[in-house]
């Protein structure tokens, strides 16, 4: 990955030269390990989960499913939905210790 340094005017925080260096990725270089996840609609998420679209929207409004707002649209990152499912699965399989059994009462003398 190659970083290019360009110099831009900095009006707010002036350096002695009045310019600052800004790092940018080289637009002509492909980044091998950087891939964007597919963004899913609520309908696609509902289909994958076997639920109704209304339920997906309710979970998104409640902040339980991570989503991205693109203007008036909401999209769900495929990896975020999978991570959320793994988290739910992990929570449901946690073994909680059994409650201690109470000792039997001794008969009074």
- Averaged pLDDT in 10-residue chunks for the chain of 109 residues: 46 55 53 70 95 94 91 92 91 76 77
pLDDT of residue 17: 60
Query: Residue 56: exposed, middle, or buried by beta-carbon count in 10 A (0-12, 13-18, 19+)?
Result: buried
Q: What is the pLDDT of residue 6?
A: 44
């Amino acid at each position: 990955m190659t970083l290019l340094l360009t110099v831009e005017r900095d009006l707010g925080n002036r350096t002695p030269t009045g310019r600052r260096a800004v790092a940018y990725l080289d637009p002509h270089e492909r980044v091998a390990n950087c891939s964007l996840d597919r963004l899913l609609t609520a309908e696609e998420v509902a289909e994958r989960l076997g639920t109704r679209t209304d339920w997906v929207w309710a979970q998104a409004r409640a902040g339980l499913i991570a989503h991205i707002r693109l203007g008036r649209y909401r999209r769900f990152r495929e990896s975020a939905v999978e991570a959320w499912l793994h988290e739910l699965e992990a929570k449901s399989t946690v073994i909680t210790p059994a409650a201690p059994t109470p000792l039997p009462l001794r008969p009074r003398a």
